[in-house]
Structure 1
Amino acid sequence: MSGSSTPLLGRAASAAFPGPGLLWRAGAILATVGVVTGAFGAHGLRKRPGVTPDNIRAWETAAHYSFLNGLALMLVSLHPRFSVHRFAGPAIAAGTAIFSGSIFALVMWRDRLKWLGPITPIGGSVLIAG
């Protein structure tokens, strides 16, 4: 089949952005970040001074969303229509990065990054739109 591909091998040069290969890789990265941050939250985060049970729950939520949305993005990359959609995949990737990333940053550096608090719901909204 001319121009056909799998998410791992990419598409023909004329393929639309973002393309299934990019979405697959972004999903794999987000899922990996979810696993790594989840493990850190379960083991290393509790040892940091000033970390509260609420901080740990927020961290776990962010890790959970990163992992699940990474898997969802990998599934989107397999769909014949949505894998080349200009909004769905990028919105899931960006929304997850903003949502989870802002929570991770707030838990780690709340005193220095208080301005990130209002950013978290924006990431969630972009994620939902995707």
Structure 2
Amino acid sequence: MKLFIIFGAVNALISVALGAFGAHGLEGKISEHYMGVWEKAVQYQMYHALGLLAVGILMQITNAPLLGASGWLMLLGIIFFSGSLYILAVSGISILGAITPIGGVLFLAGWVCLIIGILKI
């Protein structure tokens, strides 16, 4: 599905932009701890942007089951995981840390769906 290629490319672009913003715009404005949180959000967003690209490409060349589910789970994982960490880093609202693991579970589920889908070809 071309949609996942687009989602992957958009998330890669956002990840690069937010990484640069963190390095230049947030330097000295948030603590080193929260800068590490920001960097973790950027890192995982990029990893899963690449995962979305892979899902989209695989959907173009194979009819593997669960690839669509994998893509949607990765996209939701980016929103929950990276999104909550971005907000946490700039706001310091610690309760957002409770949302982050939901994103992590969504990431894991997305990768499991990708593995199972490819194995079922």
Q: Does 1:102 pair with 2:84? A: yes
How far apart are residue 33 of structure 1 and its match? 1.3
CA distance in 1, matches of 2:65, 2:20: 30
In the alignment, which residue of structure 2 is the partner of 1:36? 17
CA distance in 1, matches of 2:68, 2:25: 38
**Contact 1:24/1:74 (8 A) holds in 2:** yes
How many correspondences in the alignment? 107
In the alignment, which residue of structure 1 is the partner of 2:46? 67
For structure 1, the 5+ residue unaligned runs are 1-19
SS of residue in 1 equivalent to 2:27: helix
CA distance in 2, matches of 1:102, 1:60: 13
How far apart are residue 25 of structure 1 and its match? 1.1
Q: 1:76 aligns with which of 43, 55, 72?
A: 55
Structure 1 range deviating more: 75-84 or 118-127: 75-84
How far apart are residue 74 of structure 1 and its match? 0.6
**Contact 1:30/1:70 (8 A) holds in 2:** yes
1:105 to 1:123, Cα distance in 2 relative to 1, 3 A: same
Could you tell me the TM-score, scaled by structure 1's length?
0.75
Whose radius of gyration is greater, 1 or 2? Answer: 1
Could you tell me the TM-score, scaled by structure 2's length?
0.80
How far apart are residue 81 of structure 1 and its match? 3.4
| Higher helix proportion | 2
Within-5 A mapping of 1:1-130? 20-48=1-29, 51-79=30-58, 80-82=62-64, 85-111=67-93, 114-130=94-110
1:27 to 1:82, Cα distance in 2 relative to 1, 3 A: farther
Of structures 1 and 2, the one scoring higher in RCO (CA 8 A, sep 6+) is 2
**Contact 2:55/2:67 (8 A) holds in 1:** no
How far apart are residue 32 of structure 1 and its match? 1.1
SS of residue in 1 equivalent to 2:84: helix
In the alignment, which residue of structure 1 is the partner of 2:113? none
**Contact 1:37/1:63 (8 A) holds in 2:** yes
Letter in 2 for 1:66: Q
